Chains A and B, each alone.
Chain A
Amino acid sequence: MSINAYDYVIIGSGVAGSTLAKELLEADNKTSILMLEAGPVVAMKDRRFWWDYVVSWKKPYTQCYDREGDNPSTGKTYWDSVGSRMMIQGGSTVHWGGWSMRFKPEDFAFYSKTGYGGDWPYGYDDLEKFYCRADRYLHVCGHDDGDPWRSEPYPMPAYPFLEADGEMIEAFEKLDIKPGHMPLARERRCMATGTCKYCPIGARFSGALVIDQLLADTRFSNFTLMSETPVLRLLNNGKKKEVNGVEYLDPQTGVPTSVFGERIVVCAGAYEVPKILKLSKSQHWKHGVGNDTDLVGRYPVSHLFLTATGTKPKNKERWIAEYDFPTLMSRTYDAPKYQENGKIFMMRTASTPDTDIARLMAQGKSRSEIDAVLTGPRQMQLSAFMEEFGQHKNYFDVGEGTTRFGLPRTEIHFDKLGDFDKRAKKNLDRMERVIRTMGYENVTTAIGTQAGHHTCSTARMGNDEKLGVVDEHLKVFGTNSVYVLSNAVLPNCAAVNPTLTLVALAFKLSDHLLGRGA
């Protein structure tokens, strides 16, 4: 092995890259892996950071988000990227809520059922065993209600419903909506601080913790992480199929530097993956690696956030936010018969009702004034993710200039489907009915700004290169050494957070790379 040649070069240190690296290293401790991360390292489990968060709710990783202007929106629909993804060791799992839902069987045949987006090359049943591994790896706490089917129980019991969930559970039942426990990635050692955005003991899964463990493990002496190291492009080694080099910006010298790997795995998220592929032009790849059929960057989708909010005149139970995450959800409208309209995944908003007692004290409010606020009007909110339908005309492309991370800006061209608001209204009406059935008044509904929290599909899987950028094993069509492990490969975004599905894909890919199974 030469000094700049590795078994694997992994681009990105988020949940995808960290999970894959761990699997490869556990299988063969001496596997040489270079992991390149554009963002910095921010300490996890730091008590000072935690207290800073408690007293000010400021997170120690705020500087790792996109800023206004980093990803110019050029379509008719404004796409907001600020606060949705992170450039940091551990990627977006540093800030995620740990919500860990599986896609449902109908999600794997999205194009066949809706005429939009894409179909997966395989079905839920094929991925189910990998979902089980993902559940165990992330320590998912949940309650099996049979939908979708699972071959193993959740590895950890669900968090209890809160008393403040009760009104909504009763309304759900009246409306024939099935209540469910939110599946969450929380380890047994959780101290229930309710500060999961910065956990003082690392009980919520984060890719950053996995990387820390890999770096500290003396068995894995050939594992190297380079942070603050943006990747510029992939390098073609003469023959078209042989794309086994990576050019990055050296963080010490600022000089473009090349490194080589037997296999390159791009785990850089749905924004960066298409740009890296498109920037990797050569005589064989005139439009970028894997882009002969102009699919790289197309079909971007995310989730629109829907809300229904109501008020009651009194909060006699003095309910406050006890956790920083929802405990009550429902997948009733995340079912095949709603797919044509756009399925939704509903949850009771954890921050309603709540009273910031310390803030009122800081404002000089007396005990009786604070008691009056605590027992005064109570707000309750039902939220939902609504799935979007991928369209070829939408795309992510390389924008002009670079961000402060040294990454090219992303041009985001996105037009919401013309009938989206009409379809969203049907879902909002369902949500409004819940809030009214709970006896709340002054009910308002809203569709949130198009944002990038769960962006998918920008280098999607397909059965051939006319349908996708990567094959069922996540290898880029036309190459023999480049893989993509990212939400970018999902042919659709379903109605739920995609992280658990991405982790399942990491296990599936690691088995493939290690020659395990069929």
Chain B
Amino acid sequence: MTTTNASLIGGDHCHQPLPSTLLPADPRPLTPEEIERLWQIFEAIGHAWENTVNDSVGLRSTWLEFVNLRAMTRPSYVVEYSNAIAVMDELFAIYGRDDAFKRLFFANGIPDGPPMTALAHAKQYVVNEFMSVQIASGGFRDFVAPKGDAQAQASFSINHRAYIAGSRYGRKKPVRAFGDDE
């Protein structure tokens, strides 16, 4: 399933027109409730692509740094985050939680180009960015690591741009290295 040829999902809130640029906001801390609602989106990405374990909890501290910086420094994302939560509320109400995420990720009907609706804002400024954070902070491993060989997987070293791979002077090289070369 892809986003192409799908009809536009959502209702009145999702279809609300907006300017394409980031919605202006004064920086402020996110509330615990907002953090948990946004975390549901991040968690759902791991479920949809089956590339994280334990509901992505291992990536939570990295993700928290990301959303907190986005909320509390300029340009602040707090209005985008509030909008995304409202979009998810409407999608949950229409499709139910599981189907809502599936449609949002794979068949949303959002036209190509700058985001001009509340739904498109939520997808571009929140969901797509969470995907980048998820892949960079470790989600890439499952796509690249050897399949079906637990031992090979456990000893597998691999780096990715933006992954904090640790010191390159460690006993274990942080990359797939060629030969025994140092």
Which residue of A is nearest B180, CB measured?
Answer: A160
Residues of A within 8 A of B143 (CB): 318, 357, 370-371, 374
Is the beta-carbon distance between B144 and A361 smaller than 8 angstroms? no
Is the beta-carbon distance between B182 and A190 smaller than 8 angstroms? no
Contact among A163, A190, A322 for B160, CB-based, below 8 A? A322
Is the beta-carbon distance between A367 and B49 smaller than 8 angstroms? yes
Is the beta-carbon distance between A364 and B1 smaller than 8 angstroms? yes
Q: A322-B159, A367-B51 are in contact. Are A374 and B177 (CB under 8 A)?
A: no
Residues of A within 8 A of B32 (CB): none
Q: How far is B173's CA from A322's CA once the two chains are assembled, in angstroms? A: 12
Residues of B within 8 A of A366 (CB): 1-2, 49, 106
Verify if A513 is at the interface (C-beta below 8 Å from B). Answer: no
Is the beta-carbon distance between B131 and A361 smaller than 8 angstroms? yes
Is the beta-carbon distance between B69 and A165 smaller than 8 angstroms? no
Interface band, chain A: 35 or more
Counted as pairs of residues, one from A and one from B, with CB atoms less than 8 Å apart, the total is 140
Contact among B65, B135, B163, B176 for A361, CB-based, below 8 A? B135
Q: A357-B143, A367-B51 are in contact. Are A51 and B70 (CB under 8 A)?
A: yes
Q: A166-B179, A193-B163, A194-B161 are in contact. Are A361 and B45 (CB under 8 A)?
A: yes
Residues of A within 8 A of B131 (CB): 358, 361-362
Q: How far is B164's CA from A151's CA once the two chains are assembled, in angstroms? A: 35
Q: How far is the CB of A362 from chain B (nearest CB, A)?
A: 4
Verify if A40 is at the interface (C-beta below 8 Å from B). Answer: no
Verify if B16 is at the interface (C-beta below 8 Å from A). Answer: no
Verify if A169 is at the interface (C-beta below 8 Å from B). Answer: yes
Residues of B within 8 A of A163 (CB): 175-178
Is the beta-carbon distance between B107 and A364 smaller than 8 angstroms? yes
Q: How far is B108's CA from A195's CA once the two chains are assembled, in angstroms? A: 32
Q: How far is B50's CA from A55's CA once the two chains are assembled, in angstroms? A: 21
Contact among B128, B133, B175 for A54, CB-based, below 8 A? B133
Q: A161-B181, A366-B106 are in contact. Are A192 and B167 (CB under 8 A)?
A: yes
Residues of A within 8 A of B169 (CB): 188
20 contacts between A and B (CB under 8 A): A47-B69, A48-B69, A51-B66, A54-B132, A55-B132, A157-B182, A158-B182, A163-B177, A192-B159, A192-B166, A192-B168, A192-B175, A320-B160, A357-B139, A358-B135, A362-B127, A364-B3, A366-B2, A367-B49, A370-B143
Query: Contact residues of A with B, CB < 8 Å?
Result: 47-48, 51, 54-56, 157-166, 169, 188-195, 318-324, 357-358, 361-367, 369-371, 374
